[in-house]
Structure 1
Amino acid sequence: MHLRPVSPADFPALLALNAESVRFLSPLDASRLAHLHAQCSWQRVLEDADGIAAFLLAFAPGADYDSPNYRWFAARGGAFIYIDRVVVAPRARGLGAGRALYAALFEHARAAGVAELTCEYDLDPPNPVSAAFHARCGFREVGRQMANGKQVSMQAASPGGGS
């Protein structure tokens, strides 16, 4: 698989992947994706022979982003990168696509001197696959909140460990 930055030409594929996993994510349309793309501090796609197999969008402090989860981390302060969404196509699940995206982001965070990588996953409704994945990557719970009608686990990891 080949890792590269996201470009606007990728938007149709990203929207389709997001729609396939929307039960774990917030809905996304072309306008919203264009806004997020402009605000992201780090965003990558993984391509395989069939096209985009996975993508990750992440934000640093100061982004114009209304996500209650991003704002929860921003209110804590500090140097962080918030992983807003990581989406893996069904054909690429279990093949290391998510791990490759996180490894590249951990490396970027280390090089940039970022203190923390942050994210959240659903507790209610439960998302045990995401919980196990994030634990393997070195994330730990730093809080909980209700956001968009879901109970979520707020997670953080040091870029010096995990990945």
Structure 2
Amino acid sequence: MAFGAGLGISTASHAAECQLNRVDLRGSWGQVSFTVEIADDEAERAQGLMFREALPRQSGMLFVYPYPQPAAFWMKNTLIPLDIIFLNENGLVTGIQANAIPGDLTPLPGGNDVFAVLEVNAGLAAVYGISLGTEMRHKVFSKTAPIWPC
């Protein structure tokens, strides 16, 4: 995969095949991909990235809910500062909690219709330009009308 401007922005074709361990995000700023672990059951979502001491730069965790619902995250037992990116069932970014503080118990709300949440290293949303309206591609969005289908 080629990277633009040293930021990890992918120049790969938009027609690239979706992979279960990767999410692609795009916006007017370009496109970026992250290798992800999937947390799609209650136990995995509860554990999340707790107790991890490091997270590779282009990696993250994708939390997937069975249906859109209110969601808030906290940083209990989380050792890594994170950006928390909330998405609706079509793969549209609808909220971002940037630079979440390790160990903080303050609930970080994502909205009422959250279907998926991407956690990445703190600061990367700003570095790449990920913002409200950014589109995500992953197979978890294929059951609805994804805005960027696989």
Whether the TM-score (by the shorter chain) exceeds 0.5 is no
Q: TM-score, normalised by structure 2?
A: 0.28
Answer 1 or 2: which has greater helix percent. Answer: 1
TM-score by length of 1: 0.26
Compare the two structures and name the one with the higher strand fraction: 2
